[in-house]
Structure 1
Amino acid sequence: MGGVLIVYELDKAATTRASPGVPLGAVRRVHAAPAAPGTPTATGPRTLCGKDTFAMETACWKPSEHPEGPWYPEEYASAVCPDCDAVMET
C-alpha cells in the first residue's frame, strides 16, 4: 500500500474552527485512507473501513511522520474507527 492519510468524519453541527489544522466541526470518527494514486496528498475515494471520504476532512497528521506513535493524533484516541485501526495494526 502507498501512503496513508488520516481523515476526520465530522459532526457538521459544530461549525467553528478553533485554529489552523483543527477540523471544522466536532470529530465524530478518525479514519485512515489510502492516498490517491499519483497524488500522495489527496485521499482515495474510500477509507480503509470502506466509508466514502468525500465529506471528510484530511488531517495534517501523517502516520509516516510518527513511526513510534499511534497512526492517529493522540487527542482523538477515543474517536478512532475500530475497523481502520484493525487494518492499520496489521
Structure 2
Amino acid sequence: MTEIVVYEVDKPVTTRSSTGSTTGAERRVRKVHVAPAAPGSRTTAGPRTLCGKDTFAMETARWTPSQEPGAPWYPVEYASVVCPECAAVIEV
C-alpha cells in the first residue's frame, strides 16, 4: 500500500507586510494525517485518512513517506501536530 501525507489546514489568512501591502494567503497546518493512495494512483490520497477523516478539504503534502527503516512518515517540522490515531495505525 502506498501512503500519502495530507495536511488538515486552517482557512487561509491574508497577511499584511510592514509597508501595509497585502501579501499572499498563509495556511497553517493544524494536523498531519496519512491516507492510503486512491485506487489506481500513487499521488492522490484516497477519500479517508487512516484515522477515518475525510480528505476532501485537506491538502496533499509534497512529502513522501520514506522507505528507509526508522525514518518518520511525516515531515519532521510538523512532528508536534501529527495525528496520534494515524501514527498508531501506520506504525503497527
Which TM-score band applies after superposition, normalised by the shorter structure?
0.7 to 0.9
Distance 1:15 1:26, change over 3 A: farther
Aligned amino acid, residue 82 of structure 2: V
Moved over 6 A (4+): none
Q: Gapped runs of 5+ residues in structure 2?
A: 16-25
Work out the number of aligned pairs and report it: 82
**Of Structure 1 and Structure 2, which has the larger fraction of its residues in helix?**
1
Is this contact kept in 1: 2:37–2:44, CA < 8 A?
A: yes
Which residue, 47, 50, 61 being the options, matches 1:48?
Answer: 50
Local SS of the residue matching 1:77? helix
Q: Secondary structure of 1:5's partner?
A: strand
- 1:87 & 1:7 partners in 2: Cα distance? 15
Q: What are the superposed Cα offsets for residues 24-54 of structure 1, whole Å, 9 maximum, x if unpaired?
A: 5100000000000101110100000000000
**Alpha-carbon distance between aligned partners in 2 of 1:15 and 1:44, rounded to the nearest angstrom:** 30
Counterpart-to-counterpart distance in 2, 1:15 and 1:70: 32
TM-score (norm 2): 0.81
Measured on the aligned residues, the alpha-carbon RMSD in Å equals 1.7
- Equivalent in the alignment of 1:77: 79
